[in-house]
Structure 1
Amino acid sequence: MQEQTTQMEHQSKMKEYEAAVEQLKGDQIRIQAEERRKTLNEETKQHQARAQYQDKLARQRYEDQLRQQQALNEENLRKQEESVQKQEAMRKATIEHEMELRHKNELLRVEAESKARARVERENADIIREQIRLKAAEHRQTVLESIKTAGAVFGEGFRAFLSDWDKVTATVAGLTLLAVGVYSARNATAVAGRYIEARLGKPSLVRETSRFTVGEAVKHPIKVTAKRLKNKPQDALEGVVLSPTLEERVRDIAIATRNTRQNNGLYRNILMYGPPGTGKTLFAKKLAMHSGMDYAIMTGGDVAPMGRDGVTAMHKVFDWASTSRRGLLLFVDEADAFLRKRATEKISEDLRATLNAFLYRTGEQSNKFMLVLASNQPEQFDWAINDRIDEIVNFALPGPEERERLVRLYFDRYVLEPATGGRQRMKLAQFDYGKKCSEIAKRTKGMSGREISKLGVAWQAAAYSSEDGVLTEAMIDARVDDAVKQHLQKMDWLHGEEEAQAKACTVFPSDSSVFRI
Structure 2
Amino acid sequence: MSNTKQILSMLRSRAEGDEDQFLAIALQVAAAEARQGRRSNAEQLRAAVEDLRRSRGDKPSVRVSLARPRGDLEGLLDLREPRLKLSQVVLAGPLREKLDRVVVQQDRRAWLREGNRTPSRRLLFAGPPGSGKTLTAEALAGELRLPFFVVRLEGLITRYMGETSAKLRLVFDETIKHRGVYLFDEFDAVGGRRDATNDVGEMRRVLNSFLQFMEEPTSTDSLVLAATNHPELLDRALQRRFDEVLSFDMPSPDEICEVIRNHLRPMKYPRIAWSKIVEAGSGLSQAELARAADEAAKVALLSERNVVRTEDLLQQLTARHDMRNIFNGNQEISG
TM > 0.5? yes
Q: Name the aligned partner's letter for residue 433 of structure 1.
A: P
**Residue 330 (structure 1) aligns with:** 182
**Residue 250 (structure 1) aligns with:** 99
Match 1:384 to one of 237, 245, 249: 237
**Residue 317 (structure 1) aligns with:** 171
Match 2:145 to one of 279, 282, 292: 292
Q: Name the aligned partner's letter for residue 477 of structure 1.
A: L
**Residue 90 (structure 2) aligns with:** 241
TM-superposed deviation, 1:412: 1.1
TM-score of the pair, normalised by structure 2: 0.66
Q: How far, CA to CA, are the matches of 1:488 and 1:251 in structure 2?
A: 37
Q: How far, CA to CA, are the matches of 1:240 and 1:334 in structure 2?
A: 20
Q: How far, CA to CA, are the matches of 2:172 and 2:237 in structure 1?
A: 18
Are the equivalent residues in 2 in contact too, given 1:307–1:351 (CA < 8 A)? Answer: no
**Deviations along 1:297-349, whole A, 9 cap, x unmatched?**
1254554345332122111111222111xx22221111001211223342233
Q: Which has the higher helix share?
A: 1
Q: How far, CA to CA, are the matches of 1:313 and 1:198 in structure 2?
A: 17
**Residue 248 (structure 2) aligns with:** 395
Q: How far, CA to CA, are the matches of 1:209 and 1:254 in structure 2?
A: 21
**Residue 493 (structure 1) aligns with:** 329
**Residue 47 (structure 2) aligns with:** none
Q: How far, CA to CA, are the matches of 1:199 and 1:207 in structure 2?
A: 6
TM-superposed deviation, 1:396: 0.6
Q: Name the aligned partner's letter for residue 173 of structure 2.
A: D
TM-score of the pair, normalised by structure 1: 0.45
**Deviations along 1:111-139, whole A, 9 cap, x unmatched?**
xxxxxxxxxxxxxxxxxxxxxxxxxxxxx
**Residue 360 (structure 1) aligns with:** 212
Segment of structure 1 superposing worse, 357-366 or 197-206: 197-206
Task: Evaluate the alpha carbon distance shift between residue 470 and residue 284 of structure 1 in structure 2; reply closer, same or farther with a 3 A threshold.
Answer: closer
- Alignment size in residue pairs: 259
Q: How far, CA to CA, are the matches of 1:347 and 1:376 in structure 2?
A: 19
SS of 2:125's partner is strand
> Kindly, what percent of the aligned residue pairs are identical?
21
Task: Evaluate the alpha carbon distance shift between residue 493 and residue 317 of structure 1 in structure 2; reply closer, same or farther with a 3 A threshold.
Answer: closer
**Deviations along 1:209-268, whole A, 9 cap, x unmatched?**
25xxxxxxxxxxxxxxxx6xxx79x8x422110122322232222222222267556343
**Residue 273 (structure 1) aligns with:** 126
**Deviations along 1:395-438, whole A, 9 cap, x unmatched?**
1111011111111111115x45xxxxxxxxxxxxxxx6353455
Aligned-pair Cα RMSD in Å: 3.3
**2:289 is the alignment partner of 1:442:** no
TM-superposed deviation, 1:204: 4.4
SS of 1:330's partner is strand
Q: How far, CA to CA, are the matches of 1:439 and 1:202 in structure 2?
A: 52
Within 5 Å, give how 1:169-180 maps onto structure 2. Answer: none
Are the equivalent residues in 2 in contact too, given 1:463–1:470 (CA < 8 A)? Answer: yes
Q: How far, CA to CA, are the matches of 1:198 and 1:462 in structure 2?
A: 39
TM-superposed deviation, 1:287: 1.5
The structure with the largest alpha-carbon Rg is: 1
Q: How far, CA to CA, are the matches of 1:198 and 1:316 in structure 2?
A: 14
**Residue 198 (structure 2) aligns with:** 346
TM-superposed deviation, 1:365: 4.3
Within 5 Å, give how 1:24-63 maps onto structure 2. Answer: none
Unaligned runs of 5+ in 1: 1-195, 211-226, 417-431, 496-517
